[in-house]
Amino acid sequence: MADDFSSNSVLSERGERADDTKEALGPQICGHFVKVLKASSIFSIDHDQTKLAAEEFVDWVDAKLAEESQERFCLQMTEHNMFLDGKIIRIDQRSHGRIAPIRQLCLQADFNEVIFRKGITGGEMLQLAAEIKKVESGQRDSLDGFKLAHLELTLVAPEEQDEDEGVDDERRELIELYASLLVRCRNYFERIRHGAHPSVTDIKRIVQQITDSIDEHGDIFVGLINMKLLSGRDFVHASNCAVYSMLLASAVGLEPTIVVRCGMTALAQDVDKLSGTAEVASEIHVGDETHFQTNLASVAALTQTGTRDVLSALRLVTNYERGFPYNRPLPSTWYNDEMSPHLLSRIVEIARDYDILTQGFEGHSSMKPDLALQTMMQKMGSHYDPALMKLFVNRLGIFPVGTTVRLNDGRQALVIRSSPIDSDNKLSHATRPTVRLLDGTEELVDLSAASNKGLSIERILDDDEVAQRPSAFLLF
């Protein structure tokens, strides 16, 4: 009896140690895998940085397999979780925003299980990265069934062993919804670059889901944009324009179907630049021939899709009217009748220009959000529709969600909720949002509360001034 008890205790202890080891290995294998795929997306497949990431990954896999006396690791993915050898991987909050787009990319390529076998080579990892890039560019539809000597991809239906609490599910859903928009927009743009006319069905489905959440969780999407999970890319700019446009369209009170159309219209604002043949004019004066020809080139690029529905018509109109003042009739060379820009054109104009200023596109240096809003407000009533501009500032706040700020007492904080402009249309409330302290306490501070009258925001911090980059989960 004593011997049996002792034997069972040893087996139990070994099992617990194995589970602990898997819990530690899970985040590590995800981190290495992400590093390879990210290097291949930034650099070429044969670049030294990509090769180095691949070699580091396979060396790590072989070493850990030897330690665990295993022949293989099985990594599985679902919409909300990742598993290593059947055990859920606990991704820390700081890493989740970085890993989510990669997981969506794998699911987009029709595989959710990867088997890494002992002896895997860097060349095999590079071949996998190359095949994923083919899926992104539309040269290949799926990687289900892709198999090499020590690497195998399959599309299976793993059990959803979801042990997270409901609040974590909601947070992950919103983060992954934005990540899904980025991935699908990236794939869409890549296929256009290669001369294809891809369907927008997948993108529209994501836009519809964001529309359903925009009223309640609009601040979260703004925060994810400002945290710059990815930046400086055309597909990121298009995705951001769509979110800002939907946010403003919803604030106007447009019905959900129109909000979706507004988001889809915003995504197509710069597709003429994807072919690489569009010329960027050195100087454009509103309403002149260069302005007309530039916008006409965008319209011509859009007509190549051959679609003839309401959404396509709206895309043509907003591209045609891009960059024109809200209250000024367009020249007779543009329309036969005297017409001013359409409501959707005015909404997209604000959303697009704001993202251009904050991201730093089209020759502009990247501006902090508060300065970008101030710059645009100087043109309120002359270029931008004043009613829409006030709504936009009201929805974002002078210090938008997701920006890291310095308080007047020297502490750093993350803006997590903006304060609305009061009924007198004064902007004083917009400068006093709710923030979460980044001093380790994660304490919430409502700067608009009377008890915090002595606290204020000194300024928005540059990325290199932030002591520790905050997690996307701190937005909630």
Query: The domain that contains 228 carries what CATH number?
Result: 1.10.3210.10
Does one domain contain both 49 and 179? Answer: no
Question: Which of 86-90, 166-170, 275-279, 330-334 bottoms out in mean pLDDT, i.e. has the lowest?
Answer: 275-279
d(CA 391, CA 387): 6
* Helix, strand, coil content of the chain in percent (nearest 5): 55, 10, 35
What's the confidence (pLDDT) of residue 245?
Answer: 94
- Locate 28 and state its tokens: 């590590």
163, part of any domain? no
Among left, alpha and beta (phi > 0; psi -120 to 50; other), residue 262 is: alpha
Does one domain contain both 299 and 205? Answer: yes
Does one domain contain both 46 and 130? Answer: yes
CA distances in angstroms from 97 to 34, 57, 209, 325, listed in the order given? 12, 21, 19, 38
1, part of any domain? no
What's the confidence (pLDDT) of residue 127?
Answer: 94
Position 466 pLDDT exceeds 60: yes
Alpha helices per DSSP H over 268-420: 289-303, 310-320, 343-359, 369-377, 386-396
Beta partners for residue 457, in sequence order: 407
Q: 97 falls in which pLDDT band (50, 70, 90)? A: low
Question: Which of 7-21, 34-48, 418-432 bottoms out in mean pLDDT, i.e. has the lowest?
Answer: 7-21
103-158: pLDDT as tens digits? 777 777 778 889 999 999 999 999 999 998 888 777 887 887 889 999 999 887 54
387, part of any domain? yes
What's the confidence (pLDDT) of residue 121?
Answer: 96
The size of the chain, in residues, is 476
74-84: pLDDT as tens digits? 988 876 677 88
pTM, two decimals, is 0.63
What's the confidence (pLDDT) of residue 363?
Answer: 66
Comparison of pLDDT for 203 and 423, the residue scoring more: 203
Q: 166 falls in which pLDDT band (50, 70, 90)? A: very low
Mean pLDDT of 292-297: 65
Return the percentage of the chain with pLDDT > 90, whole number: 22
What's the confidence (pLDDT) of residue 433?
Answer: 84
For residues 424, 476, 171, 30, the Cα torsion angle rounded to the nearest 10 degrees is 130
What's the confidence (pLDDT) of residue 306?
Answer: 54
Which residue, 395, 430, 463, sits at the end of a domain?
395
What's the confidence (pLDDT) of residue 253?
Answer: 92
Does one domain contain both 221 and 363? Answer: yes
Mean pLDDT of 340-365: 84
Instruction: Look over the chain and give the mean of its residue pLDDT values, rounded to a whole number.
Output: 78
- In one-letter notation, the amino acid at residue 202 is D
Does one domain contain both 380 and 430? Answer: no
Contact 301, 275 (CB under 8 A): yes
Position 176 pLDDT exceeds 80: yes
What's the confidence (pLDDT) of residue 173?
Answer: 81
d(CA 419, CA 439): 23
Question: Which of 183-192, 249-258, 292-301 bottoms out in mean pLDDT, i.e. has the lowest?
Answer: 292-301
Which residue, 345, 365, 395, sits at the end of a domain?
395
- Locate 407 and state its tokens: 């308080």
Position 183 pLDDT exceeds 70: yes
Phi, psi of 88 (to 5 degrees): -60, 140
3, part of any domain? no
- Locate 178 and state its tokens: 């934005």
For residue 45, the enclosing domain spans 15-158
Contact 323, 291 (CB under 8 A): yes
Does one domain contain both 352 and 378? Answer: yes
What's the confidence (pLDDT) of residue 98?
Answer: 65
Does one domain contain both 360 and 401? Answer: no
Phi, psi of 460 (to 5 degrees): -80, 140
Return the percentage of the chain with pLDDT > 70, whole number: 70
What's the confidence (pLDDT) of residue 226?
Answer: 84
Which residue, 139, 158, 177, sits at the end of a domain?
158
Does one domain contain both 58 and 99? Answer: yes
231, part of any domain? yes
4, part of any domain? no
Does one domain contain both 192 and 237? Answer: yes
Position 280 pLDDT exceeds 50: no
Q: 48 falls in which pLDDT band (50, 70, 90)? A: very high
Number of domains into which the chain is organized = 3
What's the confidence (pLDDT) of residue 420?
Answer: 56
Position 289 pLDDT exceeds 70: no
Mean pLDDT of 380-407: 88
9, part of any domain? no
d(CA 344, CA 270): 16
Q: How many CB atoms lie within 10 A of CB 154?
A: 17
What's the confidence (pLDDT) of residue 278?
Answer: 43
Chain centroid, CA 446 distance in Å: 27
Does one domain contain both 403 and 465? Answer: yes
d(CA 294, CA 59): 52
Chain centroid, CA 422 distance in Å: 31
What's the confidence (pLDDT) of residue 432?
Answer: 83
What 3 state SS string does 232-249 have? CCHHHHHHHHHHHHHHHH
Nearest CA-CA partner of 111 in 149, 139, 77, 151: 77
Q: 8 falls in which pLDDT band (50, 70, 90)? A: very low
Does one domain contain both 278 and 382? Answer: yes
Does one domain contain both 255 and 320? Answer: yes
Q: Give 403's contacts (C-beta < 8 A, 6+ positions apart).
A: 226, 368, 369, 414, 415, 460
Nearest CA-CA partner of 103 in 114, 115, 92, 93: 114
5, part of any domain? no
Mean pLDDT of 358-373: 81
